[in-house]
Structure 1
């Protein structure tokens, strides 16, 4: 499970990397400090390693990565201040990897606060500097490093959000895709199990869509799909989520609804599609099957039941609703 998370969970992978690299980088200094009888500095280094190992174990066992990241940032920031106080300039050198780690592990705002606190405390303490020039050089170099780390974190967050959007959106219609649907259905099932929050599912399949492609061309078929999604989104509630399940099949996730209300919503959607969606001069119709989540169901059984309900209208002449 955790090996899979390393490939799919960016923040978890970053946390693990920081813990491993930090532990391997600091362990030799514990030995050196002990050999030099620098017991206080050795204790500081040992506390960092202990914190990193603890964070690694908690994260690997499924702990909250955001909270663990904050814990690590607090520990390494305080340890860097202590090292600067005990060792002078050689301890202050650790500020630079700590500044970078802060922006890797936590949100930019939290990282900026921790970094400003670190730089300010080291400067105010002053034991790392002999002259005013030393102090000024440290402030300048640490501030530049902090600014660069901030910009890097900002661009990384923006790029990751864009990639996540691309990975969860259908490029033709702009609605969420099957990957996003699987995630949202899992969340809905968990919410139902914990809070008994009712939730319904509609599976919608456009009737005779292959015939539309054959008669009017694939571009016209694409236009029908786009128009269909717009009609559905304008006819359902603000909190409902529409997904493209595959081809001409779509799924609507409807929270907070019972079977009767789900059936009425499905009829509204069916009628709206038949009135407003066209392929040339021909009306486009849709067959809809629905299911309200039951206590003993997982997401797979739930959508299978809704999908089976959708095939009943197909057998009975299409342009119908079964819930």
Structure 2
């Protein structure tokens, strides 16, 4: 008997008694707070149904079922879903917060840092009915010093300089206002706002590049969710953590402090730019190798028919048709292209 029932009167799906043995699903939900799992499950089901309803994805499934095998097929489906559905799904905000928390947890563990990472996006802070501040990072697991992280992946916001604020206009969230609000709401020493490159305001991206620091507010960090690049966040977190720890007892000229932080942020941006240059060069080299392989395959293909003609003195219409359409060249090159994409492994 099916565990899934449809209530046509209420147009509602009813699920009971379902158990799933799947490492991917278990690992994902293991990192989701208990009070958020029902909502995340509903959104995951919505995304899955949306993916299955896509004709292009269905065609992809049919094409790869026998050629690639179950494991590779699953990997490609997840990549397709991440790329196509991430930007338009209401799951983006929740998925982004979880991804940031998971990254920080792994990053700090690798660094041997004992900070405690706690999702707080659904918990009201010290301000009435205010949940600003999605992730709270307790320094060394204590209660006296913390870093709050606000994630803004679902909409573009501006920088929001205080002198540009219209006190009598509509209250609109900005990067700086969210940094200040998160600090107050979570009683934190330092604050970081994380923005995704796919949805950030273009004018703000020009001013931030990769990481920016605003004294009195905190850090503005740009990550790339689709490509899994959180490196800017890790570097900015280490600087913010040093500031939070120093805030306990260090008396330092703020001008010197701003100078030091400014130089660190500048070097972070330089590293990010170098990384982009390397990635572009790698892509260019892959394209060059691909074109070389195409030419070599084409020469080999032509040589086959030339040898046949010199040997037999004739080319049949079937031969001419195969030659005109390229025969199996496309399939042979696809194997090489896949090998190049995997780094030649």
| TM-score normalized by the length of structure 1 | 0.34
Structure number with greater Rg is 1
Which structure has greater helix proportion? Answer: 1
| TM-score normalized by the length of structure 2 | 0.32
Which one scores higher on RCO, CA 8 angstroms, separation ≥ 6? 1
